[in-house]
Structure 1
Amino acid sequence: MEYFKIKKGTFKEIAIFSLAGMLISLVCVLYLINIIVGLRTTIIDMEQQNIKRGEEFGVIIQKIIDTENESYKKNEILEPKEEDENKEQEKPLNNTQKSYYNAEESDRDLLAKILYCEGGGESVDCQKAIMSVIVNRLNSGKWGNTIKSVIYANGQFSPTFDGSMQKAKPTQTQYDIVDYILENGSTLPSWVMYFRASYHFNWKGYTPYCNIDNTYFGGMGGD
């Protein structure tokens, strides 16, 4: 019986120690939980602070961007005014050039074709002079008041009646020369209204002016 009592006491002690250990473990677990919760709260607070700082930084950046945009818009508004002033200054020159000869696109094609036929193998200066003869004739009114009437005047330009005009394929060079003369006017004196290859005409009253390449230019009663 005494041995049984000793064993029973031992079991009680073991139970007490076990309970104490469990309580200590529980306290430790609760302490750890408290630490973890505290850390989590701290982390959340730090994240919220970072977010707030990020938002504040974003606001600052946005203000900088808005300031730059406003500055750009102000410059953008000012620049066109300078362009408009330049355009207004250029208007008289542009209007004068564009209105020098009132040529339609079909007239431009006719001029390029006759130029190709009459001087396509000559230098640019020579072709400008040939074009100048045509516009001098237009200005004189002796062969009609339109580009077409001047080109197709009876017996004047052989390509119009020998079929070569229909086959002509002018290049960009001819179109550029046509545009230049239409915009800037004749490169020859107004009285120079004739040209031919190899030599000057020997008509009575004909005045030679110059020769460019193998083409000779002149007019009637010139200085």
Structure 2
Amino acid sequence: MAFSDRELLARIIKCEAGGEGEIGMKAVATSIMNRVRVPSGEYHRIGQGDIRKIIYQQGQYDCMRSYLGGVANPQTIWANPPEQIHYDIADWALAGNRLYNIGYSLWYFNPYTACPYAFPQNGTGSFQVSILRHCFYNPTALYYKT
């Protein structure tokens, strides 16, 4: 049985940011929905406004990978069912709400150190803000050419 969009988003919120509190989870949900709503570039072309295509895009979210570095990944959306807070945040994000300090960030990650200025490596994102352990990155002009 396929997950609904709501269930899928709630699961990825829990898996990607479950330990980051409500603000951290809303930040990640905002970033995911930014990819769904971006008007051009790679995520627009691939996702076409479909959250499922964004979440299932290969290589984007560790929680969608059964294996990481050749080792079974214990932290996947399938192994970690969401709780009410994750559904509430998914509903919040799907209704069009967003954290404005995230800007139009399309990427986030936990560098386990200070946030680098650019991410990903190809220079398509520039640092926007740090929320708890995650760094968020807005698209640069180069992204819109992807």
TM category (shorter chain) comes to 0.7 to 0.9
Alignment of 1:13-52 (within 5 A): none
Identity of aligned residues (%): 28
Aligned residues: 117
Matched, 1:155 2:59: yes
Residues 130-181 of structure 1: CA deviation (Å, up to 9, x unaligned): 0011111001224313111110011101111226121121111111111112
Q: Secondary structure at the match of 2:7?
A: helix
Q: 1:219 aligns with which of 128, 135, 138?
A: 138
Q: Which amino acid aligns with 1:194?
A: W
Gaps of at least 5 residues in structure 1 are 1-104
Aligned Cα RMSD in Å?
A: 1.9
- Larger RCO, structures 1/2 (Cα 8 Å, 6+ apart): 2
Partner of 2:103: 189
Give the distance between the partners of 2:81 and 2:46, measured in 1 at CA.
25
Runs of 4+ that moved beyond 6 A: none
- TM-score, with structure 1 as normaliser: 0.49
- TM-score, with structure 2 as normaliser: 0.72
Question: 1:129–1:107: structure 2 CA closer, same or farther, 3 Å change rule?
Answer: same
Alpha-carbon distance, 1:210 to partner: 0.5
Name whichever structure is richer in helix by fraction.
1
Residue pair 1:137, 1:143 contacting (<8 A) in 2 also: no
Residue pair 2:107, 2:125 contacting (<8 A) in 1 also: no
Alpha-carbon distance, 1:126 to partner: 1.1
Give the distance between the partners of 1:118 and 1:161, measured in 2 at CA.
12
Question: 1:205–1:112: structure 2 CA closer, same or farther, 3 Å change rule?
Answer: closer
Name whichever structure is richer in strand by fraction.
2
Question: 1:212–1:107: structure 2 CA closer, same or farther, 3 Å change rule?
Answer: same
